[in-house]
């Protein structure tokens, strides 16, 4: 077992967990507005997947995107500042929790219309193939998404055109308050792939190493043979759908059972068993993550709110506009210009 | 100067841009092997091959989204909707994705993509195939909307649209495809957001686009016999709108009629009328009048369909109204 790898997976997962815990606290304190969908419990999927691909491979995520962003981009300051609606956020405070972006790092967004991003991911893969570039696209979504037309159209085109895209369904058993057996006509989302047809695979989404292995193979196949795949990761979200959901529709026993399979704990136990690190050493990693989160909160607190003079920026790409000094144009004037 | 049909002019624009820039490709239903449902893309597959002229299944959400994804990473797709009616299946892609990705990402994403195809009613195609959708799209910040009336405008504007760095909704007149007009030999482009005076006159300003320009011009010919001179303004681009040109004309004529094929309620004409009222209130000698399609789903029967359509007679009647004659 690769020691450095195991530790880096652990670090990436604990960073997400601590970040999400702080996001929940800051939300309760009123520092974060809107919808806030947390990733606690699903960390192994994003971290396993990102660790298995190249930094040049494209990532397309949903509104539950903090984990994916941190696993790919890593910038906690920009992530926290975005939640706080600040100018230094990863989308300049325009997107919020559901719309993280870092195009330079090929993190192509958190998207908040269920299923709407699936064809987009196919399109990014289409572009890679069109240009003869080796990049693969990873598209994440929940099991509830498998009922959307956009999901089917995206997968059917990816199969038809043999696009290098990996569809990763994070099956956390619920779409909002609805258990999947009441919304899904199949037991496993993965079987849907058969009809396009497309390769499929089911993985234990709580096992970061298993996720990593499966994605690694899928990425290699996508890169060398230009073929799509649907991977279903069975997992569980520890918290409600969003901060406004107390998740009363789940029994305590069910939640407890899943919490015992906490992906971070599973990895820690493996690390101990293999003698890669002891409890104290992992604690230090955890402590560093907490410090980093605290720093991110300070950063986000101190970051300025977006200047209201920028309200109308970036509705369109405007070459002339980018040349002028934006701050000198008063908001009223921009308002008039923008409405023409 | 050469005469080209509107269809040929559009085809020439696409071919020139595809020749010029390898990132440009055409995608849609029947665009390749069938040579286009309306033959706009005829010959393009032979010329550019299957990589650049991509036939799709009937999956508007799917291929509109694929186009958006491809544009996000630097290609320049032209997505053809067989007709704009079917774009409504992809409305989510256009409104929630194409229009918003740049803004939502804090300016990180640039989306150079054109969605094009025929819009408006043809003849007796009934409600689901006969509608003008420009208001639905012009409503949305983040989109640009174009609706050309002549072959020359169609070519020049489509070339500019393809080179634009933003998502462009390009609505062609379904009944204009066979319409002929002069198109210059040399390469040219027409800037977005600039209208054109299609006929000068001093009595009444008519604002019209796409096929309604022709109804306005026919009405102008008829009324000229009585010595009434209409000024016909074609904004060509509906968003951004060249309202300066409209205001200037209204300041001269003091009367204005907006002619549009779409429904009246919350239509584009209402917005234009508001702007004229706000900017040129003191210049108006009569209320601004709209001539629109009737507020009804399009019926099939020929006589009923005729009633719905805002034709020459209705324009002439409106002119008499604003002239109080
Ligand atoms: C088209 C659409 N319909 C409804 C919603 C509201 N909504 C947001 S998330 C969600 C549940 C999605 O469940 P799933 O796909 O399983 O993802 P998860 O939240 O479990 O990660 C719903 C119904 C939406 N955002 N988009
Ligand atoms: Mg779910």
* 3-state per-residue secondary structure call for chain A: CCHHHHHHHHHHHHHHHHHHHHHHHHHHCCCCCCCCCCCCCCHHHHHHHHHHCCCCCEEEEECCCHHHHHHHCCCHHHHHHHHCCCCCCCCCCCCCCCCCCEHHHCEEEEECCCCCHHHHHHHHHHHHHHHCCCCCEEEEEEHHHHHCHHHHHHHHHHHHCCCCEEEEEEECCEECCEEHHHCCCCCCHHHHHHHCCCEEEEEECCCHHHHHHHHHHHHHHHHHHCCCEEEEEECCCCCCCCCCCCCCCCCHHHHHHHHCCCHHHHHHHHHHHCCCCCHHHHHHHHHHHHHHHHHHHHHHHHCCCCCHHHCCCCCCCCHHHHHCCHHHCCHHHHHHHHCC
Mutating which of A62, A79, A87, A120 best tests the B interface, going by the most B Cβ atoms within 10 A? A120
Q: Which two tokens stand for residue B179?
A: 């319409």
* CATH of residue B104: 3.40.50.970
Domain membership flag for residue B189: no
Candidate of A153, A176, A235 to mutate for ligand 1, largest count of ligand atoms within 8 Å of Cβ: A176
Query: Are A233 and A249 contained in the same domain?
Result: yes
Query: Are B6 and B154 contained in the same domain?
Result: yes
B70 in contact with A at a CB cutoff of 8 Å? Answer: yes
Query: Are A293 and A317 contained in the same domain?
Result: no
Query: Are B211 and B138 contained in the same domain?
Result: no
Query: Are A335 and A232 contained in the same domain?
Result: no
In this complex, do B59 and A338 lie within 8 Å of one another by their Cβ atoms? no
* CATH of residue A162: 3.40.50.970
Query: Are B205 and B307 contained in the same domain?
Result: yes
pLDDT score for A323: 47
* CATH of residue B235: 3.40.50.920
Q: In chain B, whose CA is at the least distance from the CA of A163?
A: B66
Query: Are B254 and B282 contained in the same domain?
Result: yes
**Radius of gyration in angstroms for the set of CA atoms belonging to chain A, rounded to a whole number:** 21
Neighbours of B295 (CB within 10 A): 10
Query: Are B78 and B152 contained in the same domain?
Result: yes
User: Sign of the C-alpha dihedral, residues A177, A181, A186, A190?
Assistant: positive
State whether ipTM is beyond 0.90. Answer: yes
Query: Are A75 and A221 contained in the same domain?
Result: yes
Q: Is the link from the previous residue into B299 a cis peptide, with omega within 30 of 0?
A: no
Query: Are B143 and B223 contained in the same domain?
Result: no
Indicate which residue of B30, B129, B279, B294 is catalytic: B129
Are residues B262 and B134 in contact, defined by beta-carbon separation less than 8 angstroms? yes
Q: Which domain, by its residues, includes B178?
A: 2-183
Query: Are B15 and B96 contained in the same domain?
Result: yes
Query: Are A133 and A197 contained in the same domain?
Result: yes
Q: Residues 30-59, chain B: which have Cβ within 8 Å of A?
A: 51, 56-57, 59
Q: How many domains does chain B have?
A: 2
pLDDT, one tens digit per residue, over B127-158 is: 999 999 999 999 999 999 999 999 999 999 99
Domain membership flag for residue B121: yes
* CB contacts, 8 Å: A93 with chain B: 106
Distance in angstroms (rounded) separating the CA atoms of residues A212 and A52: 5
Distance in angstroms (rounded) separating the CA atoms of residues B196 and B226: 25
Question: Ligand 1, closest atom to CA A114?
Answer: 26
Ligand 1 in contact with A7 (CB < 6 A)? no
Q: How many domains does chain A have?
A: 2
Q: Is the link from the previous residue into A197 a cis peptide, with omega within 30 of 0?
A: yes
* Ligand nearest to C-alpha A37: 1
- B123 as an active site residue: the answer is no
Centroid of chain to Cα A249: 25
Query: Are A51 and A105 contained in the same domain?
Result: yes
B74 in contact with A at a CB cutoff of 8 Å? Answer: yes
Query: Are A114 and A240 contained in the same domain?
Result: yes
Query: Are B153 and B10 contained in the same domain?
Result: yes
Query: Are B221 and B175 contained in the same domain?
Result: no
pLDDT in tens, chain B (325 residues): 899 999 999 999 999 999 999 999 999 999 999 999 999 999 999 999 999 999 999 999 999 999 999 999 999 999 999 999 999 999 999 999 999 999 999 999 999 999 999 999 999 999 999 999 999 999 999 999 999 999 999 999 999 999 999 999 999 999 999 999 999 999 999 999 999 999 999 999 999 999 999 999 999 999 999 999 999 999 999 999 999 999 999 999 999 999 999 999 999 999 999 999 999 999 999 999 999 999 999 999 999 999 999 999 999 999 999 999 8
* CB contacts, 8 Å: B106 with chain A: 89-95, 101, 314
Helix (H, G, I), strand (E, B) or coil at B119: strand
Query: Are A166 and A234 contained in the same domain?
Result: yes
Query: Are B210 and B159 contained in the same domain?
Result: no
Query: Are A76 and A134 contained in the same domain?
Result: yes
Query: Are A201 and A326 contained in the same domain?
Result: no
Neighbours of B287 (CB within 10 A): 11
Query: Are B124 and B97 contained in the same domain?
Result: yes
Residue A339 has pLDDT above 80, yes or no: no
Q: How large is the average pLDDT for residues A179-192?
A: 95
pLDDT, one tens digit per residue, over A135-182 is: 999 999 999 999 999 999 999 999 999 999 999 999 999 999 999 999
Distance in angstroms (rounded) separating the CA atoms of residues A271 and A208: 12
Q: Closest CB to A123: pick one of B67, B107, B144.
A: B67
> Model-level pTM?
0.96
Query: Are B75 and B133 contained in the same domain?
Result: yes
Q: Which domain, by its residues, includes A175?
A: 3-306
């Amino acid at each position: 077992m690769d020691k450095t790898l195991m530790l880096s997976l652990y670090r990436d997962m604990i960073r997400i967990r601590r970040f999400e815990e702080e996001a929940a606290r800051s939300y309760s304190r009123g520092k974060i507005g809107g919808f806030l969908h947390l990733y606690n419990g699903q960390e192994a999927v994003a971290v396993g997947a990102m660790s298995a691909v190249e930094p040049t491979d494209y990532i397309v995520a949903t509104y539950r995107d903090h984990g994916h962003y941190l696993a790919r981009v890593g910038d906690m300051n920009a992530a926290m500042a975005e939640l706080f609606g600040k100018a230094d956020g990863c989308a300049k405070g325009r997107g919020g929790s559901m719309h993280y972006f870092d195009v330079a790092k090929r993190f192509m967004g958190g998207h908040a219309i269920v299923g709407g991003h699936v064809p987009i991911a196919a399109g990014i893969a289409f572009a890679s193939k069109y240009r003869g570039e080796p990049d693969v696209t990873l598209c994440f979504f929940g099991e509830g998404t498998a009922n959307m037309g956009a999901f089917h159209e995206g997968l059917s085109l990816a199969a038809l055109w043999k696009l290098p895209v990996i569809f990763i369904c994070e099956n956390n058993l619920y779409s909002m308050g609805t258990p999947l057996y009441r919304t899904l006509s199949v037991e496993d989302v993965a079987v849907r792939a058969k009809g396009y047809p497309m390769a499929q695979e089911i993985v234990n989404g709580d096992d970061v190493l298993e996720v990593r292995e499966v994605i690694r193979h899928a990425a290699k196949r996508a890169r060398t043979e230009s073929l799509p795949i649907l991977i279903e990761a069975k997992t569980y979200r520890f918290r409600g759908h969003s901060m406004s959901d107390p998740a009363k529709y789940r029994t305590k026993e069910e939640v407890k059972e899943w919490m015992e399979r906490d992906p971070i704990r599973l990895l820690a136990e493996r690390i101990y068993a293999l003698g890669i690190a002891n409890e104290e050493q992992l604690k230090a990693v955890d402590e560093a993550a907490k410090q980093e989160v605290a720093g991110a909160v300070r950063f986000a607190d101190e970051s300025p709110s977006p200047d209201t003079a920028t309200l109308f920026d970036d509705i369109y790409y405007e070459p002339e506009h980018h040349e002028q000094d934006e701050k000198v144009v008063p908001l009223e004037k921009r308002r008039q210009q923008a409405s023409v | 100067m050469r005469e080209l049909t509107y269809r040929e002019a559009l085809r020439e624009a696409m071919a020139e841009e595809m020749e010029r820039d390898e990132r440009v490709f055409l995608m849609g239903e029947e665009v390749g092997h069938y040579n286009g449902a309306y033959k706009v893309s005829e010959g393009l597959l032979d010329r550019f091959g299957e990589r650049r002229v991509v036939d799709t299944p009937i999956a508007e959400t799917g291929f509109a989204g694929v186009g958006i994804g491809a544009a996000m990473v630097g290609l320049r797709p032209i997505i053809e909707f067989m007709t704009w009616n079917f774009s409504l299946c992809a409305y989510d892609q256009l409104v929630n994705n194409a229009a918003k990705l740049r803004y939502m990402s804090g300016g990180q994403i640039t989306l150079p993509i054109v969605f094009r195809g025929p819009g408006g009613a043809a003849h007796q195609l009934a409600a689901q195939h006969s509608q003008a959708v420009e208001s639905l799209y012009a409503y949305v910040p983040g989109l640009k909307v174009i609706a050309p009336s002549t072959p020359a405008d169609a070519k020049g504007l489509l070339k500019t649209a393809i080179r634009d760095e933003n998502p462009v909704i390009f609505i062609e007149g379904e009944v204009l495809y066979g319409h002929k007009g002069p198109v210059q030999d040399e390469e040219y482009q027409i800037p977005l957001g600039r209208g054109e005076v299609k006929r000068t006159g001093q009595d009444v300003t008519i604002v019209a686009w796409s096929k309604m320009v022709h109804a306005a011009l026919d009405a102008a010919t008829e009324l000229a016999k009585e010595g009434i001179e209409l000024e016909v303004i074609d904004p060509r681009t509906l968003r951004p709108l060249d309202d300066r040109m409209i205001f200037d004309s209204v300041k001269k004529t003091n009367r204005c009629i907006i002619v549009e094929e779409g429904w009246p309620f919350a239509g584009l004409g209402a917005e234009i009328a508001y702007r004229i009222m706000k900017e040129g209130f003191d210049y108006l000698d009569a209320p601004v009048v709209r001539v629109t399609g009737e507020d009804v789903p399009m019926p099939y029967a020929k006589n009923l369909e005729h009633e719905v359509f805002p034709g020459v007679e209705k324009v002439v009647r409106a002119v008499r109204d604003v002239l109080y004659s």
